[in-house]
Amino acid sequence: MIKFSLLSLFFIIYIINPIKLSSIHSNQIPISLPNSPSNNNNINNYNQNSTFDPLLPPAIPLAVRSPYLSAWLATGSEGGNGGYLSGRWAQFWPIQFPSTPHHYRLGWSGLIRINNKTYQFMGHPNEDFEIGNNGLIANQISFEYTSTRSIFIFQVEKVKFQVMFLSPIGPTNDLLRQSLPFSYLSIEILENEDQSKIEIYTDIQADWASGDHNANITWQFNQNQHSVDYSLQRLNPLVFSEECEYAEWGQAIYSTIVTPELTTGSAYAPELRSQFVANGKLRNKHDNEFRKINDRTPSFGYASPLTTNKPIVYVIGHVRDPYVNYVRSGSQESRSGYWRTSFNTTTEALEFSLKDYENALKESTKIDEQIYADAIRTSGSNHAAIVSLSTRQALGTFEITVGKDQDGNFNKSDVQAFLKEISSNGDMSTVDVIFPQFPILTYYDPALLKYMLDPIFEYSESGLYPNKWTVHDLGRYPNATGYNDGQDEPMPVEEAGNILIMTLAYHQLTNNTAWLHQHYDILSQWTSFLVEDGLVTAEQLSTDDFAGTLANQTDLAIKAIIGIGAMAEISLSTDHFSDASKFRKIAEDYVIKWMEYAISIDKTHTKLAYQLEDSWGTLYNLFADRLLNLNLVPHSVYEMQSTFYPLVANTYGVPLDSRRTWAKTDWEMFAAGTATSSNDRDLFINKLFDYLQANLVNAAFPDLYETETAKFPGRSNTSTWRIEFINRPVSGGHFSLLALDKMTKVNKMNHYSEYFPNKNYNWNWVGIWEKFKILFEKLIKFLF
């Protein structure tokens, strides 16, 4: 009797407090262009006529695994060589900033010897010396990329061979594979009609070891019965320091499997390659004259016979320990790569990676096929080309780390991921960069989103950060030293809205209510700030800080409102029913006021800012309302914006707003996720595809570009100082439609819009229904 009396009292107390009907979430995890003009030191690829599928990107990913292992082949008309692997060196991700003379070259060459005749197929080795046979070049006949692979096919006489670069992605929750700092190069004979004698040579040069080419480096040759590797590093490592974006500590690694026919060697590059040209093998001798990178540049190579039996596989990587410097309350911590929880030494990790190649390829191919199929299903082949190109870039901009317990052992329960804001300023774990990245994390592995947000929560809850809003970032990579003086880049409304939205998204995917309880107080604090300052925003920066400050930003305000609405869901999920009702009511009231302030007089579009009647802007933050199924913003607003965007579209996209003609690729894909018809959605996708296909920039998927020219934008109407946003984490935002597809499936069956599709519902009765369900579930648990 007592049980039922208590339950009845509990029911009466809460049933009268109206609360929004929330979702019951489940943890579902889904599983030919012409050759461009070349310059600088490129080889003209005469008589080559390669195809490029699905398109020729502005830069081709080769080995992309982390901010410090990021090798690309530039292809664009601003200095690339049209997508041919031979004739241009690989380069570190910056390719070349206009503000520095550094060339970012990564010496990585490949030669094939067929019946004693040598052909160049990778890099630009005859920049250093004249290859025999008048510098013959292997004929590239095709190139194809997937989410994890870049595949080049060559035809030389009657020999056809494949050169494949694989940056593997493991299955969901496979932190080991995702954290290993290695990428693969494999070379395989596809056809050998005349049974020609074939030998393969590859090498790397010392410029992989440091961004300072005047730095002295050392190297080590290691061999055991299973594997062989070269390890290169600075003579005097500078821990937690960068030079020209390179890590100035750790080792560059080049490794392969030991076979009886394998020969090795290190020497001045022309000398080493000449050995192979003359004999088809190396002398197994090693240069021990340690020196500067630019002093008779040392090279480190392997040569082997190549048959049709199986590919030759190489592993290239950059290994550091520790990874990052992280400041906790009362302590400073050096964190290591998560892979250290499984391997005591680099050699062990290398051997595992070499043996795991077939499995890694198999798993990565499955993911390739899944991403492609999902992208085709949601919006067609152009969409598939965009997300496939974005995958390695987005996942190669952060690192998964692990801490140690009190005994000094690696603690698998202490996992944190840190992101580098590549190319824009190098900040660490920038919240408004995690936000446009998070669609790929939502789609691929939501746990990675949690690991990325955890350091933000920990620092904010430590008491070290004095402001009442969310911190902008944690420092400059790789030093997460925080901003104990509160002087981080000021984006108060932006960051508070971002983290509330991402927190709810993670919970909807995982139902990890304990995590919400853990951080409820700080989430509530940030929400209260948005209630105070989110509807009518003071003059401040949004994430698009390159555009400057502005008051009363329409899109920033809707992000704040959606953040408040997200907190209502968080409150409901954690049984804070009064807060849930309060925040939902505020969010709904704010939407009504926002529509009054934000929509133009002629009711055709939203303005850039409340006070700028003749302005307009891309309302990309509306995407979060649809992603989270909050149903805060009326459908009429979605329809209005979808109808308006085609009216302001340029050749290569919809501009960010009425001030300039530049656009952001991530926000275009967010806007595509708000479209009310497939035609309006595909407007963004097809124009983004056209921008890529124009191939007029020479960098890793730049996310800021001019919609009239498909080139980098200038600053202050000048072309001499360009804004080059390249290889940034925000390419994860190109997965917006795939994230939306996944979230819709998760939320679909239990969302209140199913019961009230036109949102003309009695809010009090919705709250009563939700309370009844919660109390019924608690009753069952209590009794049984």
3-state DSSP assignment of residue 716: coil
What secondary structure does DSSP assign to 450-485, as a single string?
HHHHHHHHHHHHTT----SS--S-SSBTTEE---TT
Q: Are residues 562 and 431 in the same domain?
A: yes
Q: What is the percent of the chain where pLDDT is above 70?
A: 86
Q: How confident is the model at residue 550 (pLDDT cuts 50, 70, 90)?
A: very high
Q: For 65-88, how does the pLDDT look when each residue is reduced to its tens digit (9 = 90+)?
A: 999 999 999 998 877 889 999 999
Average pLDDT over residues 631-638: 98
* Same domain (yes/no): 294, 204: yes
User: Can you give the length of the chain in residues?
Assistant: 784
529 in the same domain as 606: yes
Whether residues 57 and 160 fall in one domain: yes
**Domain identity same for 447 and 591:** yes
Are 532 and 677 members of one domain?
Answer: yes
Which pLDDT value is given to residue 330? 80
pLDDT tens digit sequence for 107-132:
999 999 999 999 999 998 866 666 65
Burial of 568 (0-12, 13-18, 19+ CB in 10 A): buried
Query: Residue 715's pLDDT is what?
Result: 62
In the structure encoding, which two tokens stand for residue 605, read together? 């579009």
The answer to whether residue 45 sits within a structural domain is no
Q: Is residue 671 within 8 Å of 623, Cβ to Cβ?
A: yes
In the prediction, which pLDDT does 134 show?
A: 55
Asked whether 441 and 435 are in contact (CB, 8 A), the reply is no
Residue at 402 is within a domain:
no
Mean pLDDT of 375-394: 98
Q: Tell me the pLDDT tens digit for each residue of 38-57.
A: 334 444 444 469 999 999 99
Give the Cα separation of 21 and 1 in Å (integer): 30
pLDDT of residue 717: 53
348 and 427 share one domain: no
Buried residues in 258-272 as b, exposed as e (16+ CB within 10 A): eeeebbbbbbbbbeb
Strand order in the sheet with 90-92: 59-66, 69-74, 90-92, 105-106
Across the range 681-690, mean pLDDT stands at: 98
User: Within its chain, how far is the Cα of 664 from the centroid?
Assistant: 15
At residue 188, does pLDDT exceed 70? Answer: yes
Predicted pLDDT of residue 753: 35
SS3 750: helix
Residues 437-456: what's their mean pLDDT? 98
Q: Does residue 13 lie in a domain region? A: no
User: Both ends of the chain: CA-CA distance in Å?
Assistant: 16
Identify whether 46 is part of a domain.
no
DSSP annotation of 748: G
pLDDT score recorded for residue 474: 98
Q: Which of 509, 346, 393 is nearest to 66 (CA)?
A: 393
Q: Rounded mean pLDDT of 588-599?
A: 98
Helix, strand or coil for residue 145?
Answer: strand
Residue 3 has pLDDT above 60, yes or no: no
**Is residue 274 assigned to a domain?**
yes
Residue 702 sits in a domain whose CATH number is 1.50.10.10
Judge whether 771 and 15 are in contact, CB under 8 Å: yes
Least confident of 435-444, 451-460, 757-766: 757-766
Instruction: Output the pLDDT for position 674.
Output: 98
d(CA 102, CA 106): 12
Q: In sequence order, what E strands does 167-297 have?
A: 182-192, 198-205, 216-223, 227-234, 242-243, 246-247, 251-257, 263-268, 291-292
| Residue 762 confidence class, pLDDT cut points 50, 70, 90 | very low
**pLDDT per residue as tens digits for the range 300-310:** 999 999 998 89
Q: Across residues 383-408, what is the average pLDDT? A: 97
Distance CA 733, CA 441 (A): 9
CATH of the domain at 243: 2.70.98
Q: Which pair of tokens denotes residue 475?
A: 């420092």
Residue 31 maps to a domain = no
User: In the predicted model, is pLDDT for residue 193 greater than 60?
Assistant: yes
Q: Is the dihedral of CA 364, 367, 368, 369 positive or negative?
A: positive
CA dihedral 386, 387, 393, 398 (to 10 degrees): 150
Task: Output the pTM of the full model.
Answer: 0.90
Pair (430, 328) in one structural domain: no
Tally the domains of the chain: 2
Average pLDDT over residues 664-669: 98
Per-residue pLDDT tens over the stretch 412-436: 999 999 999 999 989 999 999 999 9
**Helix 492-510 vs helix 520-533: crossing angle, to nearest 10:** 140
Element (H, E) at 705: strand 704-706
Structural domain contains residue 384: no
- Angstrom distance (rounded) from CA 19 to CA 13: 13
Asked if 652 contacts 707 with a C-beta cutoff of 8 angstroms, the reply is yes
Give all strands of the β-sheet with 108-114 in edge-to-edge order: 117-122, 108-114, 198-205, 298-305, 263-268
Q: Which residue has the tokens 């041919």?
A: 84
DSSP, residue by residue, 666-692: HHHHHHHTT-SSHHHHHHHHHHHHHHH
Residue 103 confidence class, pLDDT cut points 50, 70, 90: confident
In a domain, 780, yes or no: no
Sign of the torsion formed by the C-alpha atoms of 687, 690, 692 and 696? negative
> Above 80 in pLDDT, residue 574?
yes
Q: Which alpha helices (DSSP H) does 333-380 contain, by range? A: 346-355, 357-379
Residue 14 above 70 pLDDT? no
Give the domain extent around 335: 51-363
**424 and 359, same domain (yes or no):** no
Q: Is residue 200 domain-shared with residue 334, that is, in the same domain?
A: yes
Q: Do 549 and 673 have their domain in common?
A: yes
Whether residues 599 and 676 share a domain: the answer is yes
Two structure tokens written together for 384: 């598939």
Q: Give the chain's mean pLDDT.
A: 89
> E strand or H helix at 590, and its extent?
helix 577-598
Q: How far apart (Å, rounded) are the C-alpha atoms in residues 541 and 538?
A: 9
